[in-house]
A and B are shown apart, each in its own frame.
Chain A
């Protein structure tokens, strides 16, 4: 077995490396910072699995259907089937790693989450990502000591070593010493979402720069559904970023309203009597945007009706956070909330085996376009990272490749960062075209503005190409589906029930790819 190189040490990268180690194989785990700093620690509300511990007759089939419906049928049904059917065992695995999930008297407690009729979201108060990460990092440590996981923290990707559509490894730079090294082997990208393309405008970290995705795109890796950005309905503005208010706030009884004719209008409850405030995120965000346009003023999240017990045992961290940032106690006063960019359903295009279009190159976690279609359900991101990392590792073990040192002459060595001004400019242009409501005019205008930008190094050029690909993907999808709402094409069209594929070969090409048919059960 040759070398395996994992780029990114968040939940997907950890899951992959632990899976490899459990099977007796070693890997290099490369990341900008330690796992404790990864964006996975920011996940709050929970992880979905049809554990059926709440007496609601929940089944994997329900989770499967909700995930596909929530993604407006743009996800690969076979991949979603795999994800949802393995979810219960993944949560039990976490439980056995000592994750202190909130419990009923006998078993793991589940809470309501958006787009799902049954309680299906396991959680640890409102810091589920952090609490899971601690347990999985501990588990990875066991394999670090045995030598199976070789950590390279404070290391960055300069470029992938790709020739003739085959990946041979990755060129890596030590951020502390400046040393550059080529690692030869199979590469799994677990580098997270493209938050840094929208600087300061997302709920993510500053370390998810989007550079890895941009590098991969420039080097011929296909990207999928780039137009599918998730705006989370409930975020608050803090200095330098958007701060997430977990969907669990609504799962535990929080209500959205706006003032209309001097009265509180609980618009979600009136418009969607079944799921009310817990409609999928794309729907809630769009409604909030429209309602604000109609009524003016802010949308409020009212959690004043939550019990003391709920605050203490289920949402204590959230309450502290809101008090800290807004000097407002959500237990006694409603808080103004606004939609904010939170998740990238699109990214590196992979099949259900997490293979990219480049041989020996895989992707998992938020950087990959998989499982979530046109809109991700809350509680499915931690699951997608854990399952995706594991699945990719299993497939790599089935397709071993011993890649020895190769000729890498002519490969990129330019690691100069993009300038802050350019990053900011691109972000502003993109968001002007890729808001919650889109149209051809705004998208074309944004594209036109991008045309005037010139990159002065590899990363700057990559960023501009990636930004263009995002806008072109949104322009070409002439329908409305999930997170992508076109006011000039407000209907969903069956002809567009396909994956948008962006490809770079001298220039950017956008095509649409059929979504695989659901296979019969084995």
Chain B
């Protein structure tokens, strides 16, 4: 199939962005945008800069905006598109070059939230802890969120998921601190638009984790429901 690709390119953080168009002959409609970018780059003198790692939806590296929707390039298959694909970097994070954005705010927020177990804690096979652990930290849920912006006090669902894991077995001495962080950086900023619900490339049931985490951190229900 014939593809018309438009890619928003930028040489450096300070350069101004511009669209470039490419024609690409795809072998198969099941190929992903990631594999197209990979192939295309083999042929370009000035390869498109993007981040990629697992190529199978398990690492979150290749998050970008494809036809106005934030998603993983390895999870976007050509058959979904009408032969026209428009690719931009995520807009909520500073652009480094082309499709590479600096997502370090994601990890800084997790540090501010102090997301770790302060002492030994067993989750006893909790389904919530399992689902929460699957979060890729790709940033798609933050991109779609009307309330999140980098540097703001609302940290979004990418911080909620990992907090949800801690809340399944939070040690007593840490409870007050993590619940406060949860209130300040997640609960109070979430406008419940739930735009993130359908966007998670890992298929995490965000709403389910959110409701349970709210119950434990805000409404002081003793335990997570499994």
- A interface residues (Cβ-Cβ under 8 A, vs B): 33-34, 36-39, 41-42, 95-103, 124-125, 127, 130-131, 134-135, 138-139, 141-142, 144-145, 153, 176, 205-207, 238-241, 243, 320-321, 324, 420-421, 424
Are A205 and B55 interface neighbours, CB within 8 A? yes
Q: B60 to chain A: which residues have CB within 8 Å?
A: 36-37
Are B32 and A100 interface neighbours, CB within 8 A? no
Are B166 and A420 interface neighbours, CB within 8 A? no
Please tell me which one of the listed residues A37, A141, A421 contacts residue B54 in the complex, with CB atoms under 8 A apart: A37
* Closest residue of A by beta carbon distance from B110: A141
Are A100 and B56 interface neighbours, CB within 8 A? no
Whole-angstrom distance between the alpha carbons of A310 and B169 in the complex? 26
Whole-angstrom distance between the alpha carbons of A442 and B111 in the complex? 53
Are B125 and A102 interface neighbours, CB within 8 A? yes
Are B56 and A98 interface neighbours, CB within 8 A? no
Shortest Cβ distance from B49 into chain A, in angstroms?
A: 9
Whole-angstrom distance between the alpha carbons of A34 and B111 in the complex? 14
Closest 5 CB pairs of A and B: A103-B125, A239-B35, A134-B133, A96-B120, A100-B129
Are A141 and B115 interface neighbours, CB within 8 A? yes
A320-B134 contact in complex given A37-B53, A37-B59, A240-B38, C-beta closer than 8 Å: no
Interface size class of B (residues with CB under 8 A): 35 or more
* Closest residue of A by beta carbon distance from B42: A420
Whole-angstrom distance between the alpha carbons of A3 and B121 in the complex? 32
Are B134 and A131 interface neighbours, CB within 8 A? yes
Shortest Cβ distance from B27 into chain A, in angstroms?
A: 9
Q: What are 23 contact pairs spanning A and B, CB under 8 A?
A: A33-B51, A34-B103, A36-B59, A37-B54, A98-B117, A99-B133, A100-B129, A100-B168, A124-B130, A127-B134, A134-B134, A134-B135, A135-B133, A138-B162, A141-B115, A145-B111, A176-B96, A176-B100, A238-B55, A239-B35, A320-B203, A420-B42, A424-B42
Whole-angstrom distance between the alpha carbons of A41 and B61 in the complex? 12
* Closest residue of B by beta carbon distance from A178: B12
Are A240 and B34 interface neighbours, CB within 8 A? yes
A33-B61 contact in complex given A102-B125, A130-B133, A239-B28, C-beta closer than 8 Å: yes
Are B121 and A206 interface neighbours, CB within 8 A? no
* Closest residue of A by beta carbon distance from B130: A100
Whole-angstrom distance between the alpha carbons of A96 and B31 in the complex? 41
Are A205 and B53 interface neighbours, CB within 8 A? yes
* Closest residue of A by beta carbon distance from B117: A98
Q: A420 to chain B: which residues have CB within 8 Å?
A: 41-42
A421-B130 contact in complex given A33-B61, A206-B53, C-beta closer than 8 Å: no
The verdict on B58 contacting chain A, using a C-beta distance below 8 Å, is yes
Are A41 and B115 interface neighbours, CB within 8 A? no
A240-B35 contact in complex given A96-B120, A420-B41, C-beta closer than 8 Å: yes
The verdict on B126 contacting chain A, using a C-beta distance below 8 Å, is yes
Q: B59 to chain A: which residues have CB within 8 Å?
A: 36-38, 41-42, 205
Are A98 and B129 interface neighbours, CB within 8 A? yes
Q: B115 to chain A: which residues have CB within 8 Å?
A: 138, 141
The verdict on B81 contacting chain A, using a C-beta distance below 8 Å, is no
A98-B96 contact in complex given A125-B130, A153-B104, A205-B55, C-beta closer than 8 Å: no
Shortest Cβ distance from A433 into chain B, in angstroms?
A: 24
Whole-angstrom distance between the alpha carbons of A135 and B30 in the complex? 34
Interface set, chain B 53-70, CB cutoff 8 A to A: 53-61
Are B133 and A131 interface neighbours, CB within 8 A? yes
A138-B116 contact in complex given A98-B169, A100-B124, A240-B35, C-beta closer than 8 Å: yes
Name 5 extra pairs, CB < 8 A, besides A138-B116, A420-B41.
Answer: A33-B61, A99-B133, A124-B133, A205-B55, A206-B53
A241-B56 contact in complex given A34-B107, A420-B42, C-beta closer than 8 Å: yes
* Closest residue of B by beta carbon distance from A320: B203
Are A99 and B58 interface neighbours, CB within 8 A? no
Most buried by A among B31, B118, B120, B168: B120
Q: B132 to chain A: which residues have CB within 8 Å?
A: 134
Whole-angstrom distance between the alpha carbons of A134 and B115 in the complex? 11
Are A96 and B122 interface neighbours, CB within 8 A? yes
Are B122 and A134 interface neighbours, CB within 8 A? no
Are B134 and A98 interface neighbours, CB within 8 A? no
Shortest Cβ distance from A382 into chain B, in angstroms?
A: 14
Q: A98 to chain B: which residues have CB within 8 Å?
A: 117, 121-123, 129, 165-166, 168-169
Whole-angstrom distance between the alpha carbons of A421 and B123 in the complex? 48
